[in-house]
Amino acid sequence: MSAHIINGKAIADTMLAEIKNKVDTRLASGKRAPALVVILLGDDPASAVYVRNKRLACEKVGIHSIAHNLSTETTEAELLELINTLNNDDAIDGILVQSPLPAHIDEKLVTEHISADKDVDGFHPYNIGRLAVRQPTLRSCTPFGVMKMLESAGINLMGLDAVVVGVSNHVGRPMALELLLAGCTVTCCHRHTKDLAGNIQRADIVVVAAGKPGLVKGEWIKPGAVVIDIGIHRREDGTLCGDVDFESAKERAGWITPVPGGVGPMTVATLMENTLLALEMRGF
C-alpha cells in the first residue's frame, strides 16, 4: 500500500483564489482591501524566507502588505510602542511579528500585546481560549490550515483516535483543540511521554510538530492512518525533510503530507483568510 499524498500547495492555491474573489468583491462595492503588517527583527535567513512568502501571498490575493524591518538592536519597549500604534490604527487589520525574536525580547509579552482582534497568527491567549471553549474566532494558522487540508481531502475525523506529537503554544496545543472540536479523541505526546511509538501505533490520525527530523518512524504508523507532518528541516545536502520518515511512513499510511508542499502553504493561506476575517469582524 502506498498513501494518498495530500497536496497542500494545490489546496492552498484554491483557498487563495477564493480569498482574492472576496477581496475583489469588497473593492467593487467601494470597500477597502485588508491590510496586514509584518514586523521582522534582524536578518535571519529562514525568517526572511517566511516573510517573503507571506508578502507574495498578500500580493496574490490583493491584501495590502506593510513591512516593518527592524534591527536586532530594537528594544522591547520600542517594539511594544510600535505594536500599540498599530493596534490603534483602524487602517490596519492584522499584525504579525515574525519569530524567533532576539533574546532580549519576551515573545509571550509581544504576543499578548497585539490586540486579540488583530492577532491574525491566532497566538493570543484570548483566541486560543476561544478555541478551547468551542467558540473560535481567529484560529492559529498552522492547525487551522491542517483542518482545512483534511476537510478538502474528504477525511471524516468524527470519532477517530488522534495523536499530536509536540505541545508548543503556537502549534501542538491549538492543534489538539482543533481535533477535539472536530470530534476526535485526542492524545498529546511530548518529551516526557513514556511510549511514543505505542501511542502512535494506536492512532487513526497522527499530527507531528516536534521539531525533530525523522522522529516518527514508518513502522510506528497504523496501516491506513492519516499522517500530517508539520516539521520542516534542511539537511546538509540542502534538501528539506519533516519530523516523519516520509519514505517508510507512506508505505503504511492511508494519507500523508509531504515536506515541502504539505502544511507550509496552508499556513500562509490561512493567514490570508484570517486577515480578511479580522477586517470583516471589525466591521470595516
Active site residues: 54, 98, 121
What whole-number distance in Å separates Cα of residue 8 and Cα of residue 232? Answer: 14
Axis-axis angle for helices 263-281, 141-152 (nearest 10): 110
Q: Which residues of 120-158 are buried (b: 16+ CB within 10 A; e: fewer)?
A: bbbbbeebbebbbeeebbbbbbbbbbbbbbbebeebebe
- Candidates 218, 227, 210, 215; CA nearest to 247 is 218
What whole-number distance in Å separates Cα of residue 140 and Cα of residue 211? Answer: 18
> Cα–chain-centroid distance for residue 215?
20
What whole-number distance in Å separates Cα of residue 229 and Cα of residue 264? Answer: 10
Phi-psi region of 156 (alpha: psi -120 to 50; beta: other; left: phi over 0): beta
Cis ω before 223 (30° cut-off from 0): no
